[in-house]
Structures are given as C-alpha cells and as structure tokens.
C-alpha cells in the first residue's frame, strides 16, 4: 500500500495521460488546486504543454498502513490512478502541509502527523474503490482517559510527541483519538500541546535563570528559532520581548 499525490500549482496546463487502469487517453485542462493520485508500481504516461509546477507528497508505507488501518479497521479500499481531481478539503489540507514544511525549523511532528492522517483518511474514504464515508465518531475521551492523556502530555512536553504515542496512551486508534480529543477539549491535540508548551515557556522565562535556548530544548523545540517563531505566533511577541516586558 503506497501512493503519491501530485497537487498542481501555478497557471493552468493542458495535460494528456494514459493511466495504468485505463485503455484510453484522458485529456484535461488542469488548474491550480487540482491533483492526481498515482499508486506505487503502476505506470502512467503523462504529457503536458508548457511549464508545469506541482507539489508532490509521497506517503511513507508504515504511516499509510497505520493511518488507514486504524480508520478502516483493516479493511481499507484500494486507491486507483486518478487525474485532475478537485476537492477543496484536500486542497486545504495540502496547503497546511506545505505551509508547515516550508517554515524554517518550526515544523511540528504532531501537527504533520495530524494533517497527514486527516489527508490520508479523506483520500481513501472519498477516492478509494467502492469506499463509503466513515461513520462520524461521537463522544470524547471520557474523564479517566482524558486525565491520563493530559498528564502524559505534561510529563513529556520536552519530547517530540507523536500522535501515535498520545493515541496509545489513550488506548485508541490515531483516527479515533484525534476526533475524541477534540470532542472533549474543543481543540486539536497539536494545538493543545503547543498551548501547554507556550504556557510553560512563559513560566520559565519569568524565572530568568535559563537561557531561551535552554528553555527551547527543555520544552521539546528543535532550536531557539523554533521556540521564538512558535511563541511569536501565539503571543505576538518573541520570548526575549516577553522576558524584557516583565523586568
């Protein structure tokens, strides 16, 4: 199970393609935001006129199997080669992935896993062969499970937390956990973790005995600049500016 998504960017292009599952040539005028799906080991003959710019997202096999297996309980539909698809939800998710991965050293593992899992599930439930929309997950974590997860987060703020680790602590699949967490706390897991890290960073900045770099590493940020950018987006000021205002 493996496939690649090609999201078209830039001006429209005229494209002709012959996909592995088809015996005829398709012709499309591909506009910005449209995308193509190409499963691994399935050849496609693609031609276009002019310059073509695409964002290419390849899904790691283990991540794909985990995300899809969780959501579809081991009965995931197959993805066939598809060209010139249009889906605003997919376009929005891909835009978020691009934004996060092009920031300098500020990419959140938890956020990327959350976006990636959401993207994969949307693709499979919408474009999988014979797929049907997944039933909506109702309810939250429950008091005991929520308390356990929140305690786990507090104890591991200095680590590069993963969605899989939080889901495992809750005893849920990653797909179910993301929905249940937001159902209970009205906030996505990655936003909650970031919020707690910023709160802890403020406390440490007020103590004035650790450098900003030391605080960054103590809270699971990859660098001084990673903390500074995240802190600025959350508060409107850098850690240095926050610390100086408290003097």
Residues 158, 166, 137, CA angle at the centre, nearest 5°?
145
The pLDDT assigned to 41 comes to 67
Q: Please give the DSSP secondary-structure letter assigned to residue 225.
A: H
Q: What token pair was written down for 147?
A: 């308390």
Architecture of the structural domain at 3-127: Sandwich (2.60)
Lowest mean pLDDT, pick from 66-70, 89-93, 173-177, 182-186: 66-70
Rounded to an integer, the average pLDDT of 206-215 is: 88
Q: What is the mean pLDDT of the chain?
A: 85
Residues 234, 230: Cα–Cα separation, whole Å: 6
What is the tens place of the pLDDT at every residue in 1-12?
Answer: 578 899 998 889
Q: What is the chain's Cα-based Rg?
A: 21
Lowest mean pLDDT, pick from 46-60, 70-84, 116-130, 212-226: 70-84
CB atoms within 10 A of CB 98: 14
What is the tens place of the pLDDT at every residue in 10-29?
Answer: 889 888 888 777 778 888 88
The pLDDT assigned to 195 comes to 94
What is the tens place of the pLDDT at every residue in 101-144?
Answer: 776 555 677 888 888 888 888 888 888 877 666 666 677 888 89
Grouping H, G, I as helix, E, B as strand and the rest as coil, residue 125 is helix
pLDDT band per the 50, 70, 90 thresholds, residue 72: confident
Edge-to-edge, what's the strand order for the sheet holding 26-30? 26-30, 13-18, 45-48
Contact 67, 16 (CB under 8 A): no
pLDDT of residue 42 exceeding 90: no
Which one is the CATH code of 191-246: 1.10.340.30, 3.40.50.300, 2.120.10.30, 1.10.10.60? 1.10.10.60
What is the tens place of the pLDDT at every residue in 146-194?
Answer: 999 999 999 998 888 888 899 999 988 887 888 899 999 999 999 999 9
Residues 131, 42: Cα–Cα separation, whole Å: 20
The pLDDT assigned to 137 comes to 65
Residues 230, 157: Cα–Cα separation, whole Å: 15
The pLDDT assigned to 178 comes to 86
The pLDDT assigned to 1 comes to 52
């Amino acid at each position: 199970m493996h496939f690649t998504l090609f999201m078209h960017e830039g001006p429209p292009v005229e494209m002709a393609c012959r996909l592995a599952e088809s015996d005829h040539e398709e012709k499309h005028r591909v506009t910005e935001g449209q995308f193509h799906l190409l499963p691994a080991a399935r050849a496609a003959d693609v031609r276009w006129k002019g310059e073509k710019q695409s964002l290419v997202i390849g899904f790691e096999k283990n991540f794909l199997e985990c995300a899809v297996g969780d959501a579809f309980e081991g009965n995931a539909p197959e993805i066939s080669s598809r060209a010139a698809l249009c889906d605003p939800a997919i376009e929005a998710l891909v835009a978020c992935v691009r934004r996060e991965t092009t920031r300098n050293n500020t990419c959140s593992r938890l956020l990327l896993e959350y976006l990636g899992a959401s993207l994969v599930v949307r693709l499979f439930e919408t474009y999988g062969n014979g797929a049907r929309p997944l039933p909506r997950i109702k309810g939250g974590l429950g008091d005991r499970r929520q308390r356990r997860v929140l305690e786990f987060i507090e104890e591991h703020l200095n680590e590069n937390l993963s969605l899989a680790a939080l889901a495992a602590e809750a005893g849920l699949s990653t797909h179910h956990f993301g929905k249940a967490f937001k159902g209970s706390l009205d906030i996505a897991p990655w936003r909650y973790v970031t919020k707690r890290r910023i709160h802890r960073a403020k406390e440490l900045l007020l103590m004035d005995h650790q450098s900003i770099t030391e605080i960054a590493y103590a809270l699971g940020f990859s660098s001084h600049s990673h903390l500074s950018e995240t802190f600025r987006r959350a508060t409107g000021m850098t850690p240095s500016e926050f610390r100086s205002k408290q003097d």
